[in-house]
Amino acid sequence: LAKTTQPISMDSYEGQEVNITCSHNNIATNDYITWYQQFPSQGPRFIIQGYKTKVTNEVASLFIPADRKSSTLSLPRVSLSDTAVYYCLVGDQAGTALIFGKGTTLSVSS
Amino acid sequence: GAGVSQSPSNKVTEKGKDVELRCDPISGHTALYWYRQSLGQGLEFLIYFQGNSAPDKSGLPSDRFSAERTGGSVSTLTIQRTQQEDSAVYLCASSLDLYPYEQYFGPGTRLTVT
């Protein structure tokens, strides 16, 4: 079971780029890395998923180094509405990938 | 299309009563998950279904908790003899298939045990 470690909280200002790093030293060969976002009083929402190198979509980028022991979620030019909790998940099948932990609380100020 | 729906949205019950929480997944999604989130805490995984089958029930907090899924669709989480520590938001999610497929979450049921 690949355990993940993320910072408890981060602060940023509008317009800045935010990078949240997740450590997963025991990641297995078949494991994927997935990030979710959760706003207060809502269920989590999928942001991005990757296996290796770099993945980019319309809201974020995910950087995964060659050893895959960590990953970095990059949010370009954050706004106040990006204030949320961000969760990193690692695994390859139901049960092992479903540990959300406490995530990283990102606070964006003006 | 319609997302994951849960009912009721809020439930207040007295300690010792039984409660049933319902989840309607997205049509065609074979996998369904239940989580619990206490105030200010992360998500606690409870159980998942592949079709109507729940291969691993070890995440359920106690034997007062049970879940079933019928017709590969609707799922019910039942809590018997509720306790105050059961108070939390119960979230349901569904996905096209098991992880790593994207999970779509419902709005949750807020359970308060008095």
Residue by residue, pLDDT tens for chain B (114 residues) are 589 999 999 999 999 999 999 999 999 999 999 999 998 788 899 999 999 999 889 899 999 999 999 998 999 999 999 999 999 999 999 999 988 899 999 999 999 999
Chain A hits for B55, CB-CB cut-off 8 Å, are 94-95
Q: What token pair was written down for A103?
A: 């995530």
Residue A67 DSSP label = T
Looking at A8-57, list the stretches that DSSP marks H as alpha helix, in order from N- to C-terminal side: none
At residue A16 the predicted structure's pLDDT band, cuts being 50, 70 and 90, is very high
Residue A41 to chain B, least CA–CA distance (Å) = 8
Place of tokens 């997302």: B3
Q: Does A95 touch chain B (CB under 8 A)?
A: yes
Q: What token pair was written down for B87?
A: 């108070």
User: Under an 8 A CB cutoff, do B102 and A46 touch?
Assistant: yes
At residue A22 the predicted structure's pLDDT band, cuts being 50, 70 and 90, is very high
Task: Tell me which of A87, A89, A98 to substitute to probe the interface with B (most B C-beta atoms closer than 10 Å).
Answer: A98
Per residue, the 3-state secondary structure of B18-32, as one string, reads CEEEEEECCCCCCEE
Chain B hits for A95, CB-CB cut-off 8 Å, are 48, 55-56
Q: Does A40 touch chain B (CB under 8 A)?
A: no
| CA A74 to mean position of chain CA atoms | 8
> Is residue A46 exposed (0-12), middle (13-18) or buried (19+ Cβ within 10 Å)?
middle
Q: Does A1 touch chain B (CB under 8 A)?
A: no
Residue B53 to chain A, least CA–CA distance (Å) = 13
